[in-house]
Structure 1
Amino acid sequence: MAFTLLSILAATVSVTFCFPTVFQDLEDIGGNRTSIKFLAVGDWGGVPYPPYVTAVQKTTAKEMSKVAEQMGADFILALGDNFYYRGVDSVDSPRFQETFETVYTAKSLRVPWYVVAGNHDHAGNVKAQIEYTQKSDRWRFPSYYYELNFHIPNTGKTLTIVMLDTVMLCGNSDDFVDEKPRGPLLAAEANRQLVWLQERLARSKADFLLVAGHYPVWSVSEHGPTECLLQGLRPLLLKYNATAYLCGHDHNLQYLEESGVGYVVSGAGNFLDPDIRHWNHVPKGSLKFFTGQASTLGGFVHAEVSRNKLVLTFFQAKGTSLYRTVLPQRKLS
């Protein structure tokens, strides 16, 4: 298992990695703003045949545009499975237009999209998705994994979001046979990412610290908890007092809270799945919210980070909020 080398590699982390903290500039920030707002949507990647979009994707995109216009969205987190079913083959793939550019057309969605790869993306050419950053004015995918830092306007507070490639960490999986991640293709690359993650979390002084990837840590649905992340990621989230972990993979909306960390599953951008076969495979009392019913028409999450709290609101595509929760600012030792 890739994570067995962590303790060895961690000892050299301060020598091996020394990245300065770079802050992103938020666009169109008004002078009186005191929060950062964003949307989180996963598993939104259409289909590889005409019309290249699903009804759920279209209705979700429409509701995303309304919520972004009414509540605000400085950026969007795209949580993987960006192009079904086998990603893209090149940076010139027509899928970028068919499934992304011509679907999310509203002005309120013409903000930066910060992207991670999912298992379906890794069935194709992830490097091509990274390269598309140079061709799009809003697609931001600088590397397989990366860190985002923001100043929360007029508060003196900061937000950090660590974007992970969980497929690189845990291996790919075949959804069509309900296969679990079968271990990293390259153990050395998995360990390099995990050590990088530990270094970033250990150094973080952010008032709000989020981690985002594709595979869930906890989930009650079809794919369930990801054992590899339970072993390698969850201990780091707890040790370094992360605010929340955001993911997709299961095609529904879930919110779980365990040991002070919020776990957001936002995988309802293109398909819906009401499966709850892993209902008893998460810590007792941790599941706070779940929906995967076809009647919701899709869904996503709106987040607002202000001076002392993170507010998460779960929306269904047919036009109403379903659940809201509040997480406090980190306590830094």
Structure 2
Amino acid sequence: MKTSVLFGLTLMFLCIFINGSLSKLERLEHPVTKSDDSLSFLVVGDWGRKGGFNQSLVAHQMGIVGEQLDIDFVISVGDNFYDDGLKGDNDPSFEESFSHIYTHPSLQKQCTIKSCSHPKRLEMVLSQIFNFVLSSGMVEFFLVDTNPFVEKYFTDPGDDTYDWSNVLPRKKHISNLLHDLDLELKKSRATWKFVVGHHGIKTAGQHGVTQELVDQLLPILEENKVDLYINGHDHCLQHIGSDGEIQFLTSGGGSKAWRGETQPWDPKELKLYYDGQGFMSFHITHSQAKFVYYDVFGNVLHQSKWCKDSKTFGLF
């Protein structure tokens, strides 16, 4: 059974493991406790290879950066356990690819939501909205299962098998999910609106753009003035964006990377393309969202800040 797209909130990772979820979005709140009312977190994706393909090295650097930033949580953007997800609560891959890999103290964050199906670790959850309340406003994360949008998963799945028991009938599921997302985005009074999915909307990576998301999801993001769309799927690190528009950020370098396999893209929009392993960090305040890309050795590849008032970004 193919599992995984996003991630769930755990002692360490904010993740959604989606086996074809119900479309109804659940709103959860998590307070920000830093004295400066900032929020810091890491983003990693496409890991889950029992430490191989430099997964362990990426995890080590995540721990170092996590300690430096005093992070609040980690977001994983999917494909968490290769090749076919977890086969049950006692699957040894859970320990081999997660518990025994992400061991740095900075990554062990208390979960304030609810207990997990794997004690003190990961939880199976639905597409959700996570609210992080700041004294000067709020940042909301809208975590969306993008698997059901991809037509080929239904028409030409290859050797993969999927559990669509909570998705079918597919058209109704997608319609409900888009309706709920649009409604919640319109209701939001958050200073920042981040949407997190697994598949790319704008990407120069091997998989290329997911046209179904371009046609169905992107118009909703644009209409509701979403600030960032964060994804994995392509095994690379990537920043695509222009002033005044949504920034598209890919962090799919958690383990195996695809070197040299790129799609053409406008160099004015493509601020970073790195086809090696690595991860991202974020530091969010009321006025700025700063994000930094790191390679497997912890070297800074690219850093930028997205200014809320001017809708511009710049290097720093």
TM-score bucket of the superposed structures, by smaller chain: 0.7 to 0.9
Partner of 2:12: none
User: Can you give the 5+ residue segments of structure 1 that lack an aligned partner in the other structure?
Assistant: 1-16, 47-51, 115-130, 178-183
Shift of 1:97: 1.1
Residue aligning to 1:314: 293
The structure-2 alpha-carbon separation of the partners of 1:18 and 1:41, relative to structure 1 and needing over 3 Å to count, comes to: closer
Residues 330 and 139 of structure 1: CA distance in aligned 2, closer, same or farther (over 3 Å): farther
* Aligned-pair CA distance for 1:230: 0.4
Match of 1:264? 249
- What SS does the aligned partner of 1:134 have? coil
CA 1:176–1:67 in 2, change beyond 3 Å: closer, same or farther?
Answer: farther
SS in 2 for 1:139: coil
Distance 2:146 2:24 in 1: 22
Give the CA deviation at 1:93.
1.5
- Give distance in 1, aligned partners of 2:173 and 2:188: 22
Q: Is the 8 Å Cα contact of residues 212 and 245 (structure 1) preserved in structure 2? A: yes
Q: Is the 8 A contact 1:61 1:104 kept in 2?
A: yes
Task: Provide the residue aligned with 1:148 in structure 2.
Answer: 130
Q: How does 1:55-70 map to 2 (within 5 A)?
A: 55-70=53-68
Cα distance in 1 for partners of 2:301, 2:42 equals 15
1:157 corresponds in structure 2 to 137
Relative distance call for 1:172 and 1:164 in structure 2 (3 A) is: farther
Query: How many pairs align?
Result: 277
Q: CA deviation at 1:175?
A: 9.5
SS at match of 2:305: strand
Aligned pair 1:134/2:88, yes or no? no
Tell me: CA distance 1:66–1:310, structure 2 relative to 1, closer, same or farther (3 Å).
Answer: same
Once the two structures are TM-superposed, the CA of residue 321 in structure 1 deviates from its matched residue by 1.0
Q: Could you list the runs of 5+ residues in structure 2 that have no partner in the other structure? A: 1-22, 160-166, 312-316
1:33 aligns with 2:42: no
Q: Distance in 1 between matches of 2:106 and 2:147?
A: 30
Q: Name the % identity.
A: 25
1:219 equivalent in structure 2: 203
**Deviation at 1:328?**
2.3
Check if 1:247 corresponds to 2:231: yes
Distance 2:27 2:173 in 1: 22
1:208 aligns with 2:192: yes
Q: What is the identity, as a one-letter code, of the residue corresponding to 1:270?
A: S
Find the aligned partners of 1:316 and 1:284 in 2 and give their Cα distance: 21
The one of 298, 303, 306 aligned to 1:324: 303
- 2:279 alignment partner in structure 1: 300
Residue pair 2:117, 2:124 contacting (<8 A) in 1 also:
no
Tell me by how many angstroms 1:245 deviates. 0.4
In the superposition, the TM-score normalised over structure 1's length comes to 0.76
SS at structure 2 position matched to 1:327: strand
Letter in 1 for 2:139: L
TM-score under structure 2 length normalisation: 0.80
Q: Is the 8 A contact 1:45 1:84 kept in 2?
A: yes
**1:172: how far off?**
5.8
- Compute the displacement of 1:331 (Å): 8.5
